[in-house]
Structure 1
Amino acid sequence: MSQVAVRHRPGQEHARTLRGSAAWLLVAALLLALLVAAGAVLLSGAAAAGDLVDPGALVRWGLPLVDAVVHLAAMVTLGGLTLCAVVLRPGTPPWHRAATLSAIAAIAWTVVQAVHLVLVHASVMGSGLSGPGYPALVVQFISGIDLGATLAWAVVLSAVTAALAVLSTTSASACWAAVVAGVALLPRAGLGHASGAGNHELAVSAMWLHLLGTGLWAGTLAVLVFSTLGLKAGLASTVSRFSAIAGWAVAMVVVSGAASAWIRLDSPWQLLTTAWGQLLTVKIVAFTALAAAGWHHRRSTIPLLTDAGGRSWPFWRLAAVEVLIMSVVVGVSVALGSSAPPIPQARTAEGAELAGLPAPWFTGLVTQWSLDPLFVFLAGAGAWVYVSWALRLRRRGDAWPAARMACWLLGMALLVWTTSGGVGVYGRVLFSVHMIQHMMLLSVLPVFIVLGSPVTLALRALPRRQGDTRGPRELLLAALHARWARFFAHPVVAALHVPVSMAVFYLTPLFELALRSHVLHVLMMMHFFLVGYLFTNVVIGTDPGPQRPFFPLRLVLLLPSMVFHTFFGLFLLSSTSLLAGAFFTGMGPPWTDPVTDQQVGGAVSWAMGEVPALALAMIVATRWTMHDERAQRRRERAGRPHRPDSAVPSPAND
């Protein structure tokens, strides 16, 4: 036994040496990011003392450097948790190392995020970090100023992420922690230039998509190097799974980066003639190098891992270079956030959004566009994935109905128009158009999505993951069978969720808060779409999931939504008091008064609540008739007399 131990000791020492090298690589990446950030801030003049107020050199230099650490910690947290959720095999040493590093990074994220809050307060107030009553000033900053409240939410959400990361012991718990980590990036998306951008909505969506993309790409790669360096068994499959994630992350970074540059540059020449543009040019060059390295991974180094003998060092060398280049990108990004772009990023005043828009609003629903990169990316990715799945079925000889594909693609097009077209433009300032956007997401768009049967297509097209790791198919099945999913998809819960959500949202301060905060507005849109999807899926869906009731009961389930929209529409039509009055009064539309516009919104709510419900009723009645006819034909072939099937439960794919 001692001989066996002696024989294995050199291998263990080698593994410890490799893990130590990976740890030093991460330390070097951190130091390189801080060094690049400091150099870029110095060259751009972002840390120069102000003419009127000066918080001191500690604050001026500490703020961008702390911001770099926050960015790196958030990236490692999100990347490591994603790695534990869908890439690494649970219970193995690499999984535990990745989980440990993610927990440490999440704790560091929370602590440094709190330090960042204090430094931002000192920078805004133009004072030092001490003095009589300083803690009370910080509390007042958090409770009385939007920027302080946003930073406080960033600390709270990062702390929740840290708690979940520490408690993660399975792939499922790591997946939930990764989701919360993605949500925790939302407050950061509204900081920096995005908080004051003239096109605030586009800037915030682009920044959140950018942070998610860099975390899923750079953070995952850094943790992958640390946790699996020296590993040979199963390395090829692990790297292939990471490569798929990195491909989508690159697309997210490209889309969001292009959108951010679009609103901050007047011309491409400013990439060379301005300090901000030169920093962006350096970032673009570094990003291009990273994309080329990723392509080389996919085309050259990953096949080497599957060869006999498993040559892994080419992959590790290239991955280490990528991690160092990514640290340079982070440093440059921090300097970009601290420098003034060529286009001044002054926040548009309330009511100014209407300037230049054609009146009345219905003439601009088609002509006006303001692309939201988040929803454009979601719609584009949804169309691409759906079509690729359908083609995968066709290549193996299976058919997929063209009508379902047409419904899905039409739904993706409607999603873009609802969030980025004229509805999205006017919906920010007019209640009537806001109701069109709301009812499109709640009542119209889910019909096309449900008729596309995406869950059925995914279960047929996605491959089964070998081993104990969870791929997209396994995650989808876990979600379908989860208790919380069965609860929210229950027919009664789904039917009542529609009127309850609308009442809570519109009859409480949540409505005005969502109008003033793009982050809350995005969350509101996602919530109402999910509510509408769950309800529509219960009524006319064919995907696996909820236990659908008899056809007569499906018609009954339509009543709560129809009744609520009737009463809500009549309430708005007859009311002279404004919902979110302070906000819509400040808009001051030149062609109508806010009360009249709200009454038009009431008519929109009534009509767009009733018409889709009637369409759903017609679909249910048609399927009911077809189900009875099929049952009658089966009985006639069996030689049994006909019996009405109105009270017979319908199959899943009725």
Structure 2
Amino acid sequence: MNPIPGLASRSLQLSDLLVLDVTRISPLGWLAVGCLIAYLAGAVSLWVRGRRWSVLGTISFVLGCVAWFAATGLAVNDYASDLITALVFQVITLLVAAPPLLLMGSPGRLLLRATPHRGLGCLVLRAAIAAQRSRAARILLHPIVAILVAIVALPGLFFTDAISWIMAAPGGHQVLLALLLAFGVIGGAPLWALDPLPRKPSFGVRLAGAFLELQIHALFGLVLLRSASGMLSWYAAEPEGWGISRALDQSLSGSLVWTYGQLPLIVVLIITLSKWRRSDMRGARHRQLAEDEALDAYNAYLAQAADPVASGTTRKDPA
């Protein structure tokens, strides 16, 4: 695929990858637009009926859809077959950047609150509740799945050169992006979701999962930074017309992993530690109140036992 006309004489710039051409938006890009419209329609319907819905949650979901569209609906989607940097940008966005924003928008709660409880809406609600309570959901939302997703989606695909096989297959690129988004939502749900989940991991498990994912991303980014060009057979040739070498292209992709790819996980660590501390402080206050109440009750019992009038006994006159 040839780059945008006019780029042959200058080096790659981020703005070149963010060009919008409506006629070349992928199906995944249109799906992002559809999800955004459906979410806003649900939120507006609640506001019109005078029911509360989080503005911050709405903003978060909108930003998630924007990130999703940026990875699949802009020029970067076309140029991922030429540039490793473009492909890695898509992978990181759909795997670790867009899912947290989508999950913090609580789309599940919005579905339950905004969907009509009659007709087709009733069937949709029953299907959603059945899926939420299913055994498959409990398995997919296990914290270990997030770690497996990080291993398969980054080192697994790139170090085995499976990416080249996928890119060579008809429609393989778009199928890969769809799976990455699904895996990102599944893997991110235990860390980010505000909707009720069939399995709620402890703070310790969340910290361990986020820390392990950080190490996987760090290793993956380091290999991209330090390895020679030609690691992937699909990207063996030099990217003609972009003004950069393949080695620089690969190094830029590694830098993306180390910066853009690590940031969401660092935020997870900070938020989880903060929530864990607040939870421990609330627990300590509740335990202290319970102990104080028990001590007060015991002191009242001792006072009552020591008071002969309160205990119902009278002292007789010795005469």
Check whether TM > 0.5.
yes
Is 1:619 the equivalent of 2:279?
no
| Kept after mapping to 2: 8 A contact 1:539/1:548 | no
Q: 1:436 aligns with which of 82, 86, 89?
A: 89
| Cα offset, 1:632, TM superposition | 4.8
Provide the TM-score with structure 2 as the length reference.
0.80
Where 1:364 maps in the other structure, the secondary structure is helix
The whole-number CA distance in structure 2 between the counterparts of 1:640 and 1:519 is 66
Q: 2:73 aligns with which of 401, 420, 423?
A: 420
Summarize the alignment of residues 128-527 of structure 1 with structure 2, pairs less than 5 Å apart: 350=1, 352-353=2-3, 355-357=5-7, 359-367=11-19, 369=21, 371-465=24-118, 471-517=123-169, 519-527=171-179
Letter paired with 2:163: F
| Kept after mapping to 1: 8 A contact 2:67/2:97 | no
> Aligned-pair RMSD on alpha carbons?
2.7
Q: 1:581 aligns with which of 226, 233, 252?
A: 233
| Cα offset, 1:368, TM superposition | 5.3
Cα 1:556–1:521 shift into 2, 3 Å: same
Letter paired with 1:438: V
Structure 2 gaps of 5+ residues are 294-319
The whole-number CA distance in structure 1 between the counterparts of 2:141 and 2:235 is 35
Letter paired with 1:356: G
| Kept after mapping to 2: 8 A contact 1:540/1:620 | no
Report Cα offsets for 1:191-230 as digits up to 9, x if no partner.
xxxxxxxxxxxxxxxxxxxxxxxxxxxxxxxxxxxxxxxx
Cα 1:434–1:424 shift into 2, 3 Å: same
Where 1:438 maps in the other structure, the secondary structure is helix
Letter paired with 2:74: G
The whole-number CA distance in structure 1 between the counterparts of 2:218 and 2:241 is 27
Cα 1:580–1:372 shift into 2, 3 Å: same
Partner in structure 2 of residue 540 of structure 1: 192
Report Cα offsets for 1:562-585 as digits up to 9, x if no partner.
111111111122211423334451
| Cα offset, 1:407, TM superposition | 0.4
Is 1:565 the equivalent of 2:197?
no
Q: 2:254 aligns with which of 588, 597, 602?
A: 602
Letter paired with 1:498: A
| Cα offset, 1:400, TM superposition | 0.8
Aligned residues: 290
Letter paired with 2:113: R
Partner in structure 2 of residue 529 of structure 1: 181
Cα 1:542–1:587 shift into 2, 3 Å: same
Higher helix share: 1
Cα 1:415–1:463 shift into 2, 3 Å: same
| Kept after mapping to 2: 8 A contact 1:573/1:602 | yes
Structure 1 gaps of 5+ residues are 1-349, 642-654
Report Cα offsets for 1:63-104 as digits up to 9, x if no partner.
xxxxxxxxxxxxxxxxxxxxxxxxxxxxxxxxxxxxxxxxxx
What is the aligned-residue identity percentage?
A: 25
The whole-number CA distance in structure 1 between the counterparts of 2:37 and 2:86 is 29
Cα 1:393–1:380 shift into 2, 3 Å: same
Cα 1:471–1:426 shift into 2, 3 Å: same
Partner in structure 2 of residue 194 of structure 1: none
Where 2:237 maps in the other structure, the secondary structure is helix
Partner in structure 2 of residue 191 of structure 1: none
Where 1:496 maps in the other structure, the secondary structure is helix
The whole-number CA distance in structure 2 between the counterparts of 1:504 and 1:498 is 9
Where 1:547 maps in the other structure, the secondary structure is coil
The whole-number CA distance in structure 2 between the counterparts of 1:372 and 1:546 is 36
Partner in structure 1 of residue 305 of structure 2: none
| Cα offset, 1:498, TM superposition | 1.6
Cα 1:462–1:637 shift into 2, 3 Å: farther
Report Cα offsets for 1:330-372 as digits up to 9, x if no partner.
xxxxxxxxxxxxxxxxxxxx4x245533632324234454642
Cα 1:575–1:384 shift into 2, 3 Å: same
| Cα offset, 1:408, TM superposition | 0.5
| Kept after mapping to 2: 8 A contact 1:428/1:434 | yes
Report Cα offsets for 1:98-154 as digits up to 9, x if no partner.
xxxxxxxxxxxxxxxxxxxxxxxxxxxxxxxxxxxxxxxxxxxxxxxxxxxxxxxxx
Report Cα offsets for 1:608-648 as digits up to 9, x if no partner.
3322110111121232233344445555666748xxxxxxx
| Kept after mapping to 1: 8 A contact 2:28/2:72 | yes
| Cα offset, 1:391, TM superposition | 2.6
Report Cα offsets for 1:133-184 as digits up to 9, x if no partner.
xxxxxxxxxxxxxxxxxxxxxxxxxxxxxxxxxxxxxxxxxxxxxxxxxxxx
| Kept after mapping to 2: 8 A contact 1:430/1:584 | no
| Kept after mapping to 1: 8 A contact 2:229/2:246 | no
| Kept after mapping to 1: 8 A contact 2:79/2:86 | yes
The whole-number CA distance in structure 2 between the counterparts of 1:497 and 1:380 is 26
| Kept after mapping to 1: 8 A contact 2:107/2:195 | yes
Partner in structure 2 of residue 64 of structure 1: none
| Cα offset, 1:484, TM superposition | 2.3
| Cα offset, 1:446, TM superposition | 0.8
Is 1:549 the equivalent of 2:201?
yes
